[in-house]
Amino acid sequence: MERFNTCELRDKEVINLCDGSKLGCPTDFEFNSCDGRISALIIAGQCGFLGLGRSKDIIIPWCKIECIGEDTILVRLPSNEFIIPDDDKKRHKRSFW
């Protein structure tokens, strides 16, 4: 089993195997407080024109990662089911794993 630190993971582009889309690079991580392991990758939403508006963050559960390569992280996310609106992030408990 290969090990990565969070800095190394932030430099890898995330690609969705379901449609071939480039999702971006991880900007944050969720950790399991019981065992200290990463439970999800977070890709920040893009800012709109002149920094106004913002698209939704993408939350990728660790179980959706298929492969971590030298330059990319391959994930399988059908129909963007793990996108959470910015308004709901603070109130939303992510209980989908």
User: Pick from 69, 15, 24: which is nearest to 42 by CA?
Assistant: 24
How far is Cα of residue 31 from the mean position of the Cα atoms in its chain?
A: 12
Q: Span 6-88: which CATH code? A: 2.30.30.240
User: What is the phi-psi region of residue 20: left when phi exceeds 0, alpha when psi lies from -120 to 50, beta otherwise?
Assistant: left
pLDDT value at residue 81: 62
pLDDT at 56: 80
**Domain regions of the chain by residue span:** 6-88
The pLDDT tens digits for 62-96 are 999 999 999 999 999 887 565 555 554 444 444 44
For 22, how many CA atoms within 13 A lie in the half-sphere containing its CB? 7
At residue 47, the pLDDT reads: 59
